[in-house]
Structure 1
Amino acid sequence: MTQWLLQRLFEAKEQPKPTFAIQGTINWMRALSEIINSDEFSNEKISNVYNKVQRRPKNEKADTLAFENMLMAYHNLASLSSLDKEISHKYDVVRSAIVSWYYATYFAASAMVAASSGSKQETHSATAKVWHSDFAERGLLPYPFNLCLSTLVLKEVKTKIKDLRNGNSYDLSIYSSNVEEAKGACISYLNGTADYKKWEVEERVKASKDFKKLGVDNFRTKAAQILRDEALSKGQVNFLFQAFRYRGKANYRDSIFLSYGNSYEEKIGPFIHDLRDVTKAFIQMAAFYCKKRVVKEDWELFIKDLEENTRLSLPVNEIEI
């Protein structure tokens, strides 16, 4: 039988080819891992980004929220570490590994937001927007987590991507083996996410009352373009938005590609290890920032309490630098 289920999915909906979907999935994480394990991402560079961050006035509620979210990030990192070390057939857990990676990232970013403004958002998208204004736009993230766009207007995105590339021609078709290839792949994923977010915005604009009043079905007219670009100018892409898209592809939209068809077994094991490495780096960055913001003695109490009371096998010092 020739991939019966895949044919059913192609007939029922727009379905990316598994080989294409898994290539981008593996190669982006490989690129991120290549960078965070290089001199581009180091304890010194994290320290340099946050060296001017001041401890805020005591805010017990916000600090508690930061600690709670760091605990959840730590738990998901522990899950990834176990999946990396203890599972022999990695295909069985690859989708779960991506979900753990996403939630570790999300909770660590939520801890940063709590330590920054003390706010708690009701949706993941809202958290990503606050994280954008609190960190991405303020230069409070080390590379590569600082890669972002503050508009989705096509002309402006192209200019920004060109500036970021600075002559780098590598893209997501590359399984990175050095930092230059990795940088190109990361910029490529940023650009791809911008295209996806642009499409989302355009679909919302087409469904709006203002667009329907124009009596058109595309953006060829000046009036339609103005309406579209006004919405696109408010769009954003940052690491959290990319992570949300990444988790969505794995968990919902591209359902088949992680466990069906051609075998990429030689890359699935290293892929889960890359997920683990990138997660650890992101959490350590978040912990470093939170430690500088919350009451100093309370951070030390938090770490000591986890050391004494956690039931997780991952040493607590894994989340600190």
Structure 2
Amino acid sequence: MPNWLLDRLFDGGDQAEPRFAFQGTVNWMRALAEVVNSGACDDDELESLYRRVARRQINQEADTLVFENMHMAYHNLASLDAMNNDALDKYDICRSAIVSWYYSVYFAASAMVAASSGSIQETHTATAKVWQADIAERNLIPYPFDLYLSSLVTTTAEAEISEYRGTNDYDLNHRAHDPDMAHGAIVSYLKGTHKYKKWEAEERIKNSREFKALNVDNFRKKVARELRDKTLDKGQVNFLIQAFRYRGKANYRDSIFLSYGDNNEGTIDQFIEDLNDVAFGFLRAASRYCSKRVERGTWALFVEDIEDNTRLSIGIDAIEI
């Protein structure tokens, strides 16, 4: 059967090859889920990670932000849970599931930022930047969510990626069946996100007044490289930035790849389950951290109130401490 729409999209310009876009999408989530389901976010692991987290001075305004964002994360997890359990054909909801996954992660991360510094960010990118400083760089999120790059400068990023990878040679072409394969795929996606964010930053630099004043077309000259690297050094990659890119690819750029062409029904079924498992693990970690930071006794009141008054069908396992 001819692929009329696919051919038309390719004729129109830059379009990802559906097979490779699909493979990277499902294999990254499979790798994350493999680690989470191997115990990375189990209660004993989280208790050990957050044992020394100190409760902050009472800040009711910041605590309210924590509870508001955590409720939004919980609601998006409920959406994922319903898609996982109730949707008869997972193809119908796979794109919406990625959006719910992202917002469950994003709001949980926002709750962690509110619990840490109480700061409010206006954009998703700004939230990711603060989350890296407040949470990831302070080792306050478990693996596999803890990997980050401190700079977009190629030499710095490649050195950090090499340290994460070690001798592991698995990548996103391999579907993870064990933690070692999962780690290779996770590092591979980190590397791919660095490449994308570096390209994105370079395109912005090329359109800047400072670059145009150099009267150059590329970064071959030293003065152009210095301008580029000064900007790239302010950039970073972390799990939240990867999640934002992931949502964007599903929702915008690679418009066709999830539900068109080859029949991958079994893989899609597993994919929706993996999205749910990863979001649950992240929300579980965020809940444990936030419960340590908010005013003593209020987390229990929050959970009790949700249990008593929510109209969502999901249980409170993800947020109960």
TM-score bracket for this pair, using the shorter chain length: over 0.9
Q: Which residue of 2 aligns with 1:36?
A: 36
- C-alpha distance in 2 between matches for 1:306 and 1:80: 18
Which residue identity does 1:31 align to in structure 2?
A
- C-alpha distance in 2 between matches for 1:47 and 1:308: 26
1:23-55 residue CA offsets vs partner (Å, 9 max, x unmatched)? 000000000000011144432222222111110
Q: Which residue of 2 aligns with 1:275?
A: 275
Q: How do residues 64-83 of structure 1 correspond to structure 2 at under 5 angstroms?
A: 64-83=64-83
1:91-125 residue CA offsets vs partner (Å, 9 max, x unmatched)? 00000000000000000000001111111111111
1:236-267 residue CA offsets vs partner (Å, 9 max, x unmatched)? 10000000000000001111111111111110
- Percent of pairs with identical residues: 59
- C-alpha distance in 2 between matches for 1:179 and 1:41: 14
- C-alpha distance in 2 between matches for 1:105 and 1:29: 13
Q: Which residue of 1 aligns with 2:202?
A: 202
Q: Which residue of 2 aligns with 1:134?
A: 134
Q: Which residue of 2 aligns with 1:216?
A: 216
Q: Which residue of 2 aligns with 1:145?
A: 145
Aligned length: 321
Instruction: Report the alpha carbon displacement of residue 139 of structure 1 after superposing the two structures with TM.
Output: 1.6
Which residue identity does 2:102 align to in structure 1?
Y
Give ranges in structure 1 of 5+ residues lacking alignment: none
Q: Which moved more, 1:42-51 or 1:66-75?
A: 42-51
- C-alpha distance in 1 between matches for 2:287 and 2:303: 11
- C-alpha distance in 2 between matches for 1:142 and 1:234: 24
- Asked whether 1:251 is paired with 2:217, we answer no
Q: How do residues 1-321 of structure 1 correspond to structure 2 at under 5 angstroms?
A: 2-320=2-320
Instruction: Indicate conservation of the 8 Å contact 2:125/2:241, yes or no.
Output: yes
- C-alpha distance in 2 between matches for 1:19 and 1:198: 24
Which residue identity does 2:303 align to in structure 1?
I
- C-alpha distance in 2 between matches for 1:307 and 1:42: 22
Instruction: Indicate conservation of the 8 Å contact 2:287/2:318, yes or no.
Output: no
Q: TM-score under structure 1 normalisation?
A: 0.98
RMSD: 1.0
Q: TM-score under structure 2 normalisation?
A: 0.98
- C-alpha distance in 2 between matches for 1:285 and 1:318: 9
- C-alpha distance in 1 between matches for 2:129 and 2:120: 12
- C-alpha distance in 1 between matches for 2:7 and 2:314: 43
- C-alpha distance in 1 between matches for 2:29 and 2:113: 24
- C-alpha distance in 2 between matches for 1:227 and 1:79: 45
